[in-house]
């Protein structure tokens, strides 16, 4: 079943768990991944737990309840035996452990929407892949 990619503020049909269809307005969709050039990384040779090495980071963001794909890798060289790596505007403490252990976010056609009749909002709603599915949106 072909579903065309939605656009922000477009009206799509949502089928809830009871099977009822409602027209809703798309308020969010997967944004472009952050560019590695836009990610600022700095290091401090003391006060942390990272050994001297080159560390690589990929960043994603949650916008309107939907995670972007990860950026391309950005690297930082540390020189001290107790280094820290700082990424301004991001809250993350790198202990040298591989985190997260799961897969990076993939491309998604999930949307966030608002039902202006009930004033309800939902985030990260998947596109339908077959007829009669529930908790999905249809955009023909």
pLDDT bracket for residue 63 (50, 70, 90): confident
Residue 38 in this model has a pLDDT that exceeds 80:
no
Q: In the chain, what percentage of residues exceed pLDDT 90?
A: 10
C-alpha distances in Å from residue 15, one per residue of 66, 101, 128, 130:
19, 33, 9, 12
pLDDT at 1: 60
C-alpha distances in Å from residue 18, one per residue of 58, 60, 71, 114, 115:
40, 34, 38, 18, 16
Q: Identify the burial level of 32 via C-beta atoms within 10 angstroms of its C-beta, where 0-12 means exposed, 13-18 middle and 19 or more buried.
A: exposed
In the chain, which residues fall in CATH 2.30.30?
A: 1-30+108-140
Mean pLDDT of the chain: 80
pLDDT at 24: 92
Label residue 64 left, alpha or beta by phi (over 0 means left) and psi (-120 to 50 means alpha). left
Q: pLDDT tens digits for 78-120?
A: 887 888 887 766 655 666 666 665 677 777 788 889 888 888 8
Q: What is the CATH number of domain 1-30+108-140?
A: 2.30.30
């Amino acid at each position: 079943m072909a579903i065309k990619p939605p656009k922000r503020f477009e009206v799509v049909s949502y089928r809830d768990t009871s099977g009822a269809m409602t027209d809703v307005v798309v308020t969010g969709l997967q944004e472009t991944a952050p560019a590695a050039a836009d990610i600022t990384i700095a290091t401090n040779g003391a006060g942390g737990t990272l050994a001297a090495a080159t560390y690589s980071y990929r960043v994603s963001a949650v916008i309107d309840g939907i995670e972007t794909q990860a950026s391309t890798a950005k690297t930082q060289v540390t020189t001290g035996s107790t280094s820290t790596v700082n990424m301004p505007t991001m809250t993350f403490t790198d202990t040298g452990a591989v985190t997260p252990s799961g897969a990076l976010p993939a491309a998604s056609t999930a949307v966030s929407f608002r039902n202006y009749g009930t004033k309800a909002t939902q985030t990260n709603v998947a596109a339908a892949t077959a007829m009669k599915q529930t908790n999905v949106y249809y955009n023909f």
